[in-house]
Amino acid sequence: MTVAAVRTPRAATLRKQEAILIEAEHQFARFGFEGVSLDSIAAALDLSRQNLLYHWPSKEDLYRAVLDSVMGEWMANMSAIADADEPEAAIRAYVADKLRFSRERPSGNAVFTREIMAGAPRYQDVLKAQVMPLLHADVARFEGWAAAGLIRRLDFTHLMFLIWSSTQSYADLGAQFSLYMGKAALDEDDFERARELITGLIWRSLEVAE
């Protein structure tokens, strides 16, 4: 029996798919899943609807591809705690990575937040299969550090929720924060000060009194 060879996508195809994902991410971030159509994405890229459908057969497939891309980048940095040996350095690295992601990919964060706020109707299966095990691994690492006397024992699940929400807010509410600060947008110094403050507050809540 002859086995058909798997064809590697050409560079031009990959570039087109990347452009479609970027435009889709921006539109889903601004208008939500219901407010976006394949026609609006195709028109923005000067493509035909059929050309776009060649790469993704439905709007839901394209939407999940955007979320997969966002989730993949986010999860690449989620092991900073579970794989670490020293708690303070791990927390510093984790907070820094989450804030960097909020700064560098605000539209991706917005798509993810919209999905979560809606109850994750189109992505709950992925969250359960991929994020929950990593969250449990992080909590287990905190429990191990607490058992070794390296940190105070807290509700580590809610501690992770606190880290997520405080860092995510710099993507979701960045425009609001900059408005209150009287500037066009948050800059690198704002994110650095946020990193120091968030890290310091979290670490002081965990630090063992001498």
Residue 7 dihedral angles phi and psi, to the nearest 5°: -85, 135
**Average pLDDT score over the chain:** 92
- pLDDT tens per residue across span 1-36: 455 555 556 888 889 999 999 999 999 999 999 999
51 lies in the same domain as 135 = no
pTM of the model: 0.85
Query: What are the DSSP calls for 57-82, one per residue?
Result: SSHHHHHHHHHHHHHHHHHTTTHHHH
Average pLDDT (81-110) is: 92
- pLDDT tens per residue across span 46-55: 999 999 999 9
Q: Is residue 156 part of a domain?
A: yes
- In this predicted structure, the answer to whether residue 79 has a pLDDT above a threshold of 80 is no
| pLDDT value for 10 | 80
- In this predicted structure, the answer to whether residue 178 has a pLDDT above a threshold of 60 is yes
User: Which of 49, 66, 83 delimits the end of a domain?
Assistant: 66
Cβ neighbours of residue 33 under 8 Å, at least 6 residues apart? 59, 63, 114, 115, 122
The fraction of the chain above a pLDDT of 70, given in percent, is 95
Where residue 55 sits, what CATH number does that domain have? 1.10.10.60
- Residue 47, amino acid: L
Instruction: Of 23, 122, 139, give the one whose Cα is nearest residue 81.
Output: 139
| pLDDT value for 104 | 92
| pLDDT value for 9 | 62
Where residue 172 sits, what CATH number does that domain have? 1.10.357.10
The total domain count for the chain is 2
Tokens of 101: 């992601």
Tokens of 49: 């609807």
- Are the beta carbons of 27 and 44 closer than 8 angstroms? yes
Three-state secondary structure readout of the chain: CCCCCCCCCCHHHHHHHHHHHHHHHHHHHHHCCCCCCHHHHHHHCCCCHHHHHHHCCCHHHHHHHHHHHHHHHHHCCCHHHHCCCCHHHHHHHHHHHHHHHHHHCHHHHHHHHHHHHCCCCCCHHHHHHHHHHHHHHHHHHHHHHHHCCCCCCCCHHHHHHHHHHHHHHHHHCHHHHHHHCCCCCCCHHHHHHHHHHHHHHHHHHHCCCC
87 lies in the same domain as 143 = yes
Average pLDDT (125-146) is: 94
| pLDDT value for 142 | 96
User: Which of 25, 42, 66 delimits the end of a domain?
Assistant: 66
- In this predicted structure, the answer to whether residue 80 has a pLDDT above a threshold of 90 is no
Q: What is the domain range of residue 106?
A: 67-206
- pLDDT tens per residue across span 179-193: 999 999 999 999 999
57 lies in the same domain as 128 = no
